[in-house]
């Protein structure tokens, strides 16, 4: 077979970069964002929608040459989740249930059960901030960006949530 040249075009650089970056973001944050959304909305389908919405918005942003941070993704996911909750409240009564049974893996160890019960008893905003801080390992300033509050306020909430959780777990009076 002979060598022959084929006309070559350059891929649109921004689009290619956006693809690459989006892929990285999805690999890194899909699960965390999804868990975050589930916690917020208590609805798996809605959560998947929220996360998708965030990634699609991220792609749009990336394609325009802007950067997308972790906090940005959480914020967009959260806003989508809140919208979804609002919509749900209008249409159906909210079924309050933290990490519903259908989603909960069959881990019924006493520690998990106690922890779940305690978390459910916490104020949602404390729970949210505690998860972002302790589980997702976001920095307070990032959490601040997500929630629209100052860093110091995040610290206070984390501290309050921790104390509350200790009490709920019976570790502290």
Partner 1 sequence: MTSHPTDSIAVLDDLPPADRASVEAHISGCQDCRQTLAAYRAQDAALVRLPRTQAPQPIRSDVWAAIRSERSARPRRRALWPPLSLAAGVLLLAGSFLFPSPQNFPKAVASGLPSLRRYVANSSRLGPYSGTGLVTSWAVPPSRALSSSDPYAPGRTLSVHWSLRDLYHYRLDVTTLSPALYSGTITYVRNGQSLLVYDRRTEVAATGHVQRFQTFTQRGAWITGTAAQFLALLAPGTFGIGSAVSNYLATIRADGADLHPPSYTRLVEHTTVIGRRADVVEYGPLTRVDYISGCSFTKAGPCIHDPHGVGSARIWIDERSPLALRYAIDFPGPVSTFPGHRRYRVTSLRTGAGPSRQDLAYRPPVKILHVLSVQGGATSSGNIITIPAGFVGVAAPDSPIEKALPLTDATVSRGSPDGRPIALDVLFYQGPSFRTRGAVPTGPFVYVQEQTQVHGLPAGLRVGNTQRIGNCTVYPGIDAAGRKTAAFQIHAVSLLITTNAMSADQVLRYLKASYCRGARQ
Would you tell me which residues interact with partner 1 (CB under 8 A)? Answer: 1-12, 15-16, 19-20, 22-24, 26-27, 30-31, 33-35, 38, 44, 47-48, 51-52, 55-56, 59, 99, 103-105, 107, 111-112, 115-116, 130-131, 133-135, 139-140, 154-156, 158-159, 162-163, 165-166, 169, 171-172
The least distance separating partner 1 from the CB of residue 23, rounded to whole angstroms, comes to: 5
Hey, what's the torsion of the CAs at 146, 152, 158, 164, to 10 degrees? Answer: -130
CA atoms within a 13 Å half-sphere pointing along the CA-CB vector of 102: 6
The least distance separating partner 1 from the CB of residue 16, rounded to whole angstroms, comes to: 7
34: its two tokens: 């999804």
Q: Which residue, 72 or 131, has its beta carbon nearer to partner 1?
A: 131
Q: Which residue, 16 or 82, has its beta carbon nearer to partner 1?
A: 16
**Element spanning 149, H or E:** none
Q: Which residue, 30 or 79, has its beta carbon nearer to partner 1?
A: 30
The least distance separating partner 1 from the CB of residue 115, rounded to whole angstroms, comes to: 6
Asked if residues 41 and 79 have their Cβ atoms less than 8 Å apart, the reply is no
Asked if residues 129 and 161 have their Cβ atoms less than 8 Å apart, the reply is yes
The least distance separating partner 1 from the CB of residue 114, rounded to whole angstroms, comes to: 9
Return d(Cα 93, Cα 71) in angstroms, integer.
Answer: 30
């Amino acid at each position: 077979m002979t060598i022959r040249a084929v006309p070559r075009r350059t891929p649109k650089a921004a689009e290619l970069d956006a693809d690459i970056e989006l892929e990285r973001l999805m690999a890194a944050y899909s699960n965390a964002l999804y868990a975050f959304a589930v916690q917020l909305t208590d609805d798996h389908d809605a959560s998947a929608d929220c996360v998708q919405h965030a990634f699609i918005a991220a792609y749009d942003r990336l394609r325009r040459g802007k950067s997308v941070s972790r906090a940005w993704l959480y914020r967009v996911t959260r806003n989508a989740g809140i919208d979804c909750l609002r919509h749900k409240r209008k249409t159906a009564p909210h079924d309050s249930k933290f990490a519903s049974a259908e989603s909960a893996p069959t881990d019924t160890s006493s520690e998990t059960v106690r922890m779940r019960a305690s978390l459910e008893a916490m104020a949602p905003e404390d729970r949210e901030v505690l998860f972002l801080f302790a589980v997702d390992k976001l920095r307070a300033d990032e959490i601040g960006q997500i929630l629209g509050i100052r860093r110091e306020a995040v610290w206070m909430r984390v501290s309050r949530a921790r104390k509350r959780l200790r009490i709920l777990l019976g570790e502290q009076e």
